[in-house]
Amino acid sequence: MFMKDRNVIITGCARGIGRAMLEIFAKNGANVWACIRKPSDDFVAYSGRLADEYNVRIMPVYFDLADPGQIKAAVGSIMSAKLPVHGLVNNAGITYNALFQMTSMDRLREVFEVNFFSQFLLSQYIVKLMVRQKGGSIVNISSSAAIDADSGRSAYGASKAALICLTKVMAAELAERGIRVNAIAPGITETDMVAQSMSQDIISETVAHTMLKRMGKPVDIANTALFLASDLSSYITGQVIRTDGGLGR
């Protein structure tokens, strides 16, 4: 119960890594504002089952990260609960694979809007709440692509690299307020997003370059996020934790 009675915001909870995070955090006692893009009866039912199973509160919040107005409204909804916010996990994002010369400015702006600008804005709002309570932990989900500069991932990799820079700057600026900020750089992970954006040949080739010779599972990333959000990592800030099975090393 590493997060018992803690209140955490997690974005991108509808599927994949975010869904695994929701379950792991709930299992460890956290009350969660579970953020997804659109209302879903199935998600509400799933959240209710988790809440009952682990005796926690799960509060669905709906907003599109590409819309600053919706982000602001969502924060207002979170604030209306009048609860302290102990953690924020900026997990939601989109992927895009294309050669540098084939990447349009419109697609570049779209990727940065969701993967960086929205995370920046949401974090600004939530930090104001954390400052009032003199503490908190923020976990940003970056990518190994931000570090390894993979071919065909100029837009995606650059957006996630910007998130790493933001992580380190935020950690330096917010440490005196008792707020820790870290990032996770997942490698290839078993998600719908990976399956839809990468061919099986590329997936197999990438797996072959990991030390553990397997794809990561969403729970692997969720466990790392749990560690960074909890007091187990109370002396860790400004770091990028590669959770990639030893990719390329």
Secondary structure of 174-226 in the HEC alphabet? HHHHCEEEEEEEECCECCHHHHHHCCHHHHHHHHHCCCCCCCECHHHHHHHHH
Q: In degrees to the nearest 10, what's the CA dihedral of 138, 182, 60, 95? A: 140
> Looking at residues 81-101, what average pLDDT do you find?
95
Average pLDDT score, the chain: 95
In the prediction, which pLDDT does 86 show?
98
Per-residue model confidence (pLDDT) at position 249: 62
Asked whether the CA dihedral 168, 169, 172, 175 is positive or negative, the reply is: negative
Diameter over CA atoms, the chain: 51
Q: Each residue of 37-56: pLDDT tens digit?
A: 999 999 999 999 999 999 99
Residues forming the active site? 156
The confidence score (pLDDT) of residue 98 equals 93
* Overall average pLDDT of the 75-95 stretch: 96
DSSP 102: G
What mean pLDDT do residues 26-31 have?
98
Decide: 111 and 159 in contact? Cβ < 8 Å: yes
What is the per-residue pLDDT across 132-156, written as a single tens digit (0 to 9) for each? 999 999 999 999 999 998 888 999 9
| pLDDT higher than 90, residue 7 | yes
Q: What is the pLDDT of residues 198-235, one digit of tens each?
A: 888 888 988 998 999 999 999 999 999 999 999 999 99
pLDDT digits (tens, 9 = 90+) for 214-223: 999 999 999 9
For residue 231, report the phi and psi dihedrals to the nearest 5 degrees.
Answer: -70, -5
Backbone angles phi, psi at 76, to 5 degrees: -60, -40
What percent of the chain lies above the pLDDT cut of 90? 89
pLDDT (0 to 100) of residue 191: 87
Q: What is the pLDDT of residue 198?
A: 81
Q: Greater confidence, 153 or 175? A: 175
Query: Does 7-240 carry CATH code 3.40.50.720?
Result: yes
